[in-house]
Amino acid sequence: MHLIAAVDNNWAIGYQNSLLVRIPRDQQMFREMTEGKVIVVGRKTFETFPQKQPLKNRVNIILTREQKYTVKGAVVVHSMKELMEELQKYDPEDIYVAGGASLYEQLLPCCDTAHITKIDYTYQADAYCPRLDRIADWECTMESEEQTYFDIEYYFQKYERKK
């Protein structure tokens, strides 16, 4: 299973239920990696999607405690147990955990690869991804050349769980 996130210098991912910044190349990379795959998101993250609609050409799985919550074109589950049962239907290599913070925390033990867009800036934030650079059994195995979007510098990184 994969984790996919854009993080700032403090591994922040959001503020007040919004992304910290939208970088077109990061969004393109997300689309390229996840099309034809399974994305797993929490309800609040899902509700940040354009028009609150499932992303096209993907299986969208949404975890929420709200029992009556339904989304046309998405699979809605209401517990980690139900989520894990649903994920059994798919190849773990095709599953991308795409946020938010609590879902990253809960599913990190199931992930063996993380695709991180590391933004060289510190934003005001209230949601964070686990700091893989401080977890002993994770290592950065790839980092792109510096990318820029206006005055924002960022890098594409790949972290892998040590064998």
Per-residue pLDDT tens for 7-52? 999 999 999 999 999 999 999 999 999 999 999 999 999 999 999 9
Measured distance CA(93)–CA(111) in Å, rounded = 10
User: Has residue 163 got a pLDDT over 90?
Assistant: no
Tell me the pLDDT of the chain averaged across its residues.
Answer: 97
pTM, 2 dp:
0.96
The full set of domain ranges for the chain reads 2-161
User: Is 39 in contact with 96 (CB distance < 8 Å)?
Assistant: yes
- Answer left, alpha or beta for residue 99, where phi above 0 means left and psi between -120 and 50 means alpha: left
Topology of domain 2-161 in CATH is: Dihydrofolate Reductase, subunit A (3.40.430)
Q: Which tokens sit at 42? A: 């929490």
User: How far apart, in whole angstroms, are the C-alpha atoms of residue 15 and residue 44?
Assistant: 12
Q: Kindly report, residue by residue over 126-145, the tens digit of the pLDDT.
A: 999 999 999 999 999 999 99
